């Protein structure tokens, strides 16, 4: 779901909290080294023995390390520019803005997931029926819905809601006004 840049920004923000300039410089160097290593791994064919298992996609890994390198460099430059002795994510205006955007996207995705799950649960409780009616019944149904402003499905649903089963097994509907 997340782009390599989003993953890198969240990781750097989490790992960088409280690091001084020297430690951030070490993170920049590590990210540069790992970015180079993952690029080289992309160019070199992997032995067949390394292809099995649940390893991360090498292209994705290379993109994440490139994004981390970029983000660590941004943090280092920000610390230098602002003369911060240590990195404080809450003072990083741009990083905080990105974090809020990620949270908003995440919250939206979670809300959509919850709504979809509810829709799926509700759909299990619904009954969808296709009814073939004789021509004369169909004409009466169309005339009633034309007067009431309902759809045929809405009228039939209201009719079904009014039906009661008698002790002898017959169905009965008292007179009612469609709403």
Residue 84, domain member (yes or no): yes
Q: Of 89 and 2, which is predicted with more confidence?
A: 89
Average pLDDT of the residues in 88-105 = 93
Task: Mark residue 18 as left, alpha or beta (left: phi above 0; alpha: psi -120 to 50; beta: remaining).
Answer: left
Q: Could you give the 3-state DSSP secondary structure of residue 84?
A: coil
Whether 83 and 151 map to the same domain: the answer is: no
Whether 86 and 158 map to the same domain: the answer is: no
Residue 179, domain member (yes or no): no
* Pick from 64-68, 73-77, 91-95, 117-121: least confident: 117-121
Q: What is the reported pLDDT for 122?
A: 80
Indicate the number of domains in the chain.
2
Last residue of a domain, one of 91, 107, 125: 125
Whether 77 and 48 map to the same domain: the answer is: yes
Q: What is the reported pLDDT for 55?
A: 61
- Cα–Cα distances (Å) from 93 to 6, 8, 97, 139, in that order, read 16, 17, 6, 67
> pLDDT tens-digit profile of 102-137?
999 999 999 999 999 988 888 777 777 888 999 999
Whether 73 and 49 map to the same domain: the answer is: yes
Residue 41, domain member (yes or no): yes
Residue 177, domain member (yes or no): no
Give the global pTM.
0.59
> pLDDT tens-digit profile of 20-65?
999 999 999 999 999 999 998 888 766 545 545 446 788 889 999 9
> pLDDT tens-digit profile of 133-176?
999 999 999 999 999 999 998 999 999 999 999 999 999 999 98
Whether 13 and 73 map to the same domain: the answer is: yes
> Domain of 119?
4-125
Residue 52, domain member (yes or no): yes
Q: DSSP for 86-124?
A: B--GGG-HHHHHHHHHHHHHHHHHHHHHHHHHHHHHHHH
Q: Could you give the 3-state DSSP secondary structure of residue 20?
A: strand
What is d(CA 161, CA 4) in angstroms, rounded to the nearest whole number? 53
What is d(CA 121, CA 142) in angstroms, rounded to the nearest whole number? 32
């Amino acid at each position: 779901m997340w782009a390599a840049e989003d993953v890198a920004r969240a990781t750097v923000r989490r790992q960088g909290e409280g690091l001084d300039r020297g430690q951030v410089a070490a993170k920049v160097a590590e990210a540069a080294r790992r970015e180079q290593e993952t690029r080289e791994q992309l160019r070199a064919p992997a032995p067949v023995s390394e292809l099995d298992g649940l390893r991360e996609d090498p292209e994705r890994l290379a993109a994440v390390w490139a994004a981390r390198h970029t983000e660590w460099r941004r943090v280092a430059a920000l610390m230098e520019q602002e003369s911060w002795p240590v990195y404080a994510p809450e003072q990083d205006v741009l990083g905080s803005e990105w974090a809020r955007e990620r949270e908003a996207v995440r919250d939206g995705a979670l809300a959509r997931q919850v709504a979809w799950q509810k829709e799926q649960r509700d759909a299990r409780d619904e009954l969808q029926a296709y009814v073939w009616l004789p021509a004369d019944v169909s004409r009466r149904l169309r005339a009633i819905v034309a007067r009431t402003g309902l759809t045929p499905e809405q009228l039939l649903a209201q009719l079904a809601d009014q039906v009661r089963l008698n002790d002898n097994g017959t169905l009965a509907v008292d007179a009612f006004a469609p709403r």
